[in-house]
């Protein structure tokens, strides 16, 4: 049994879920700093729904989503991760849960929200996986059913974090930003072109998205992997 637990922990670590496996690590501490900055970024608004996105693919948005959800849950809040990347979902791998049904099934009324949410290994943290990849992701995410789903989720969870596709690839993040309380933009040090970061910010602002801040991912600052700075 101990061997099985060790193997599962190793798999979680390989998926970069460091806040769960090693909560005292410098990287986990940086994620908690991000959590604190988000909490103070909008003191006059009840921040319940947060979109995490990036300018381009492979910049670390899904890793940030998962770890951010973990540290909010460790704070004692009821947290729901929604994998709203209906094009290239990965959160079911990160949390090691099934993805036979998920968000796409709920939005097309093939099943219910309550039957689809799954518990994770972290206390107070649940996940709604993407489900099968649909032919019309943008239409589903902008539908009345998505609005109703978020309202239902807010009745049951304190924080809902949505992992969204990259801003410059498709319009999904812009659509979701209009349905949620704020957006966190993830950029990768040495990888994300400055022009891409600026263009992503401009596109979000063009739909009046509330940008809570930017996370500079993979920045080598001593032993820390994540660094947070505000929008301005």
pLDDT in tens, 80-129: 999 999 999 999 999 999 999 999 999 999 999 999 999 999 999 999 99
Average pLDDT for the chain: 89
Average pLDDT of the segment spanning 148-158 = 97
What pLDDT does 12 receive?
45
Residue 214, beta-bridge partner list: 185, 229
Whether the predicted model's global pTM rises above the 0.85 cut: yes
Secondary structure class of 81 (helix, strand, coil) = strand
Task: Supply angle C-alpha 184, 84, 144, rounded to 5.
Answer: 105
pLDDT at 40: 86
Is the pLDDT score of 13 beyond 70? Answer: no
The per-residue pLDDT for 221 is 57
Res. 9: pLDDT tops 60: no
**What does the domain layout of the chain look like in residue ranges?**
2-229
What's the confidence (pLDDT) of residue 86?
A: 97
The answer regarding whether domain 2-229 maps to CATH 3.40.50.300 reads yes
Q: What helix, strand, coil percent values describe the chain, rounded to 5?
A: 40, 20, 40
Contact between 126 and 113 under an 8 Å Cβ cutoff? The reply is no
């Amino acid at each position: 049994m101990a061997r099985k637990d060790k193997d599962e922990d190793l798999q979680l670590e390989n998926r970069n879920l460091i806040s769960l496996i090693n909560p005292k690590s410098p990287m986990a501490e940086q994620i908690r700093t991000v959590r604190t900055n988000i909490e103070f970024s909008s003191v006059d608004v009840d921040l319940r729904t947060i979109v995490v996105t990036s300018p381009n693919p492979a910049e670390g948005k899904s890793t940030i989503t998962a770890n951010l959800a973990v540290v909010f849950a460790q704070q004692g809040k009821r947290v729901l991760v929604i994998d709203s990347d209906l094009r290239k979902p990965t959160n079911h791998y990160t949390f090691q849960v099934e993805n036979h049904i998920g968000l796409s099934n709920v939005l097309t009324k093939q099943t219910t929200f309550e039957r689809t949410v799954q518990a994770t290994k972290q206390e107070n943290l649940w996940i709604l996986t993407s489900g099968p990849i649909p032919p019309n992701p943008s239409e589903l995410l902008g539908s009345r059913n998505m609005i109703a789903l978020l309202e239902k989720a807010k009745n049951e969870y304190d924080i809902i974090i949505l992992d969204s596709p990259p801003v410059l690839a498709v319009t999904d993040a812009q659509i979701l930003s209009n349905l949620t309380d704020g957006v966190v933009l993830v950029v990768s040090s040495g990888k994300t072109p400055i022009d891409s970061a600026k263009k992503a910010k401009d596109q979000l602002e063009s739909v009046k998205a509330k940008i809570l801040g930017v996370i500079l991912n993979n920045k080598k600052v001593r032993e820390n992997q994540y660094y947070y700075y505000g929008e301005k």
